[in-house]
């Protein structure tokens, strides 16, 4: 993959460098914050083979890439002057940020911006903790051994010094100097402060700051105190920095921030944030204890819907907060079945599809899904096919209800993936909550797989009427006696007529990789010698493009067809095209649907090759071309076998 070319194309498609305020990435997505989101060319991005989907949600313009997102991110960042400082961007378009940003959008943007830079090492640390717990439970290691303690230090370092890492990324996110906020995080976890906390627990004399009593709290692994402290520090920095002389600005700014914010954090921000943390955790526990199975069912059903819009980051602080306050979390185990439900749905598609491309995509999506990356499965398969996505959510809900009912918890943070099953092992060893989690996730996979295999096809083959030949004209009766002798109802075949006259082009020879690769379905192409498109069957006009260059049709038997006149003709903005039907119209084989000016298209330097694709071809056994090298409109073009 040419990452540099892709990076350049993405930058141009989001409105150029000057339209980018900031950019971070998570496991699968580039998350842009744009000065003016309206400048982004969403449709242009979607045409890129490497882009799975584009989502504008949560105050972020998200470009879903998949497993290569890290390499693409590095390629984008290799370009100089990417993005503007937040205050500079607001000077350009302050009204846009105000109009587009809601409270929820700002919250999601802040959370994802703070946590995504180190999500990979967070997941790795959680997996290591889970593996160590498994090793202890299986008596392979004991907690007193040097081997265990060194590996435990490696797995726990991030979480113990969490305020330092969050301080750095929060400083970046809030537009301040990240090393200042990182030092504030270091102060919260300094050995002297931890020693003072331990002394206060034993009832020794309380400490004071300038005569004000200090309530010492152990801030190791905490989240909310350092985020609030970083926000205050960045706000102070932005106000005092311009007021200081240039000669002393670089070191007096940190002096003022550290001298004021660190004491303020220990005196007020920290205790207040800790109180809020406990209040939030207790509030969640009240809901969870009321009906754990209901909480699991809701999370299992809704998690992947949140993933689609990038809203799942809003729950990440709750998971961390539960781990800090209680030392365990019940939310992550209930989310895992949602992932497993989509994995099961992809597995069902893998087993039933006869399309080699779709089978390969299902296999790769399954592999990514077991490690918690479900975007390729969602955007590439289950969501476009609709029913598999719904079945996957139902499966996740059933599995989540079981996990919630048995009371499973995790004891370290991680992504919801196969390794979560080792992070649920309690310090006391494997118990019924662990086996309940295995059962719940197994149910999610099985329901997702079997439900998709038997009921997940977008158009069920059993719903197809006894196969009829639609190679008929308006003047011919539609009785079975009129069917050509080579097609009978018992063969369960459908004939798609040629919508135009011209030269037949093999699918592999279409001068566009998206069409040629079968990403939109199987079929054929025609190089027309006359600017007319006629109905290839009797049915309905399902969709019309604003630029009039393409039509989506659906036959009475459920065959869905895309007729795309020319390659890249969307650029012509509809000028050479004239529609003769409207969306929702009933059509009969042979009806004139569209006319176009062949000369105008070729004069624009564009190809007239017209792909004719069965977009739900995975619902059928075969889609076979029966035309010769030349075809006339209303002659048999494709034979579709159920």
8 Å CB contact between 565 and 609: no
Q: Cα–Cα distance between 217 and 220 in angstroms, integer?
A: 9
8 Å CB contact between 578 and 594: yes
Give, as one character, the DSSP assignment of residue 586: E
Give, as one character, the DSSP assignment of residue 349: H
Q: Which residues contact 103 (CB under 8 A, 6 or more apart)?
A: none
Can you spell out the DSSP letters for 49-87?
A: TT--EEEEETTEEEEE--TTHHHHHHHHHTSTT-S--HH
H or E element at residue 19: none
Other CB atoms within a 10 A radius of the CB of residue 390 amount to: 18
SS3 514: helix
CA angle 212, 218, 128 (to 5 degrees): 160
Residue 564 catalytic? yes
Q: Cα–Cα distance between 434 and 422 in angstroms, integer?
A: 9
Q: Cα–Cα distance between 579 and 533 in angstroms, integer?
A: 10
Number of residues assigned to the chain = 642
- The residue from 534, 549, 564, 625 that is catalytic is 564
Q: Cα–Cα distance between 124 and 132 in angstroms, integer?
A: 12
Q: Is 497 exposed, middle or buried (0-12, 13-18, 19+ CB in 10 A)?
A: buried
Q: Cα–Cα distance between 64 and 53 in angstroms, integer?
A: 5
DSSP E strands in 459-564: the ranges are: 493-497, 502-505, 522-528, 532-534, 539-544, 550-555, 560-564
**Token pair for residue 213?**
């009593």
SS3 content of the chain, % helix, strand, coil (to 5): 55, 15, 30
- The residue from 25, 26, 257, 393 that is catalytic is 26
Residue 26 catalytic? yes
* Residues that are catalytic: 26, 564
């Amino acid at each position: 993959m040419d990452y540099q070319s892709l990076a350049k194309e993405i930058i141009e498609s989001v409105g150029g460098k000057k339209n980018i305020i900031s950019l971070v990435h998570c496991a699968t997505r580039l998350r842009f914050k744009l000065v003016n989101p309206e400048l982004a060319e969403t449709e242009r991005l979607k045409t890129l083979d490497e882009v799975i989907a584009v989502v504008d949600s949560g105050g972020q313009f998200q470009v879903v890439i998949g497993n290569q997102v890290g390499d693409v991110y590095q390629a984008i960042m290799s370009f100089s002057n990417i993005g503007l400082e937040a205050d500079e961007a607001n000077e350009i378009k302050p009204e846009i940020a105000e109009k587009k940003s809601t409270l929820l959008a700002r919250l999601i943007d802040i959370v994802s911006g703070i946590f995504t830079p180190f999500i990979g090492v967070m997941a790795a640390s959680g997996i290591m903790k889970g593996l160590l717990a498994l090793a202890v439970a299986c008596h392979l290691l004991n907690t007193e051994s040097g081997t265990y303690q060194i590996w435990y230090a490696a797995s726990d370092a991030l979480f113990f010094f969490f305020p330092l890492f969050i301080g750095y990324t929060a400083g970046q996110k809030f537009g301040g100097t990240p090393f200042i906020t990182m030092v504030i995080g270091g102060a919260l976890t300094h050995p002297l402060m931890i020693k003072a906390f331990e002394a206060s627990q034993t009832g020794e004399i309380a400490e004071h700051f300038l005569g004000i009593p200090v309530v010492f709290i152990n801030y190791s692994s905490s989240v909310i105190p350092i985020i609030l402290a970083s926000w205050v520090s960045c706000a102070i920095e932005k106000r005092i920095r311009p007021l200081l002389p240039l000669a002393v600005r670089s070191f007096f700014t940190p002096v003022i921030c550290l001298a004021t914010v660190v004491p303020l954090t220990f005196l007020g921000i920290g205790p207040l944030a800790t109180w809020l943390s406990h209040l939030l955790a207790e509030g969640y526990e009240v809901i969870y204890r009321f009906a754990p199975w209901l909480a699991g069912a809701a999370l299992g059903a809704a998690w992947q819907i949140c993933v689609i819009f990038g809203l799942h980051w809003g729950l990440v602080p709750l998971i961390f907060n539960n781990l800090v306050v209680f030392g365990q979390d019940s939310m992550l185990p209930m989310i895992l079945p949602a992932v497993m439900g989509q994995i099961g749905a992809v597995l069902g598609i893998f087993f039933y599809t006869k399309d080699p491309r779709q089978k390969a995509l299902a296999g790769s999506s399954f592999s990514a899904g077991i490690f918690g990356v479900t975007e390729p499965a969602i955007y590439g398969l289950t969501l476009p096919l609709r029913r598999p996505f719904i079945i996957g959510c139902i499966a996740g809900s059933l599995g989540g209800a079981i996990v919630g009912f048995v009371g499973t918890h995790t004891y370290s943070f991680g992504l919801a993936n196969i390794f979560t099953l080792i992070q649920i092992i309690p310090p006391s060893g494997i118990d019924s909550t662990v086996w309940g989690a295995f059962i719940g996730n197994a149910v999610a996979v099985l329901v997702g797989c079997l439900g998709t295999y038997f009921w997940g096809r977008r158009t069920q083959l059993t719903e197809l009427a006894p196969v009829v030949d639609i190679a008929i004209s308006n003047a011919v009766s539609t009785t079975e006696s009129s069917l050509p002798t080579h097609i009978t109802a018992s063969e369960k075949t459908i004939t798609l007529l040629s919508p135009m006259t011209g030269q037949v082009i093999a699918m592999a020879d279409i001068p566009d990789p998206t069409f040629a690769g079968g990403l939109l379905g199987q079929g054929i192409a025609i190089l027309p010698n006359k600017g007319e498109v006629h109905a290839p069957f009797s049915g309905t006009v399902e969709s019309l493009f604003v630029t009039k260059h393409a039509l989506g049709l659906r036959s009475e038997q459920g065959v869905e067809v895309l007729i795309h006149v020319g390659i890249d003709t969307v650029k012509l903005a509809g000028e050479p095209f004239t529609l003769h039907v409207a969306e929702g119209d009933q059509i009969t084989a042979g009806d004139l649907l569209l006319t176009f000016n062949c000369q105008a298209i070729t004069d624009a330097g564009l190809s007239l090759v017209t792909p004719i694709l069965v977009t739900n071809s995975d619902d059928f056994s075969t889609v076979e071309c029966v035309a010769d090298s030349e075809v006339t409109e209303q002659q048999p073009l494709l034979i579709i076998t159920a």
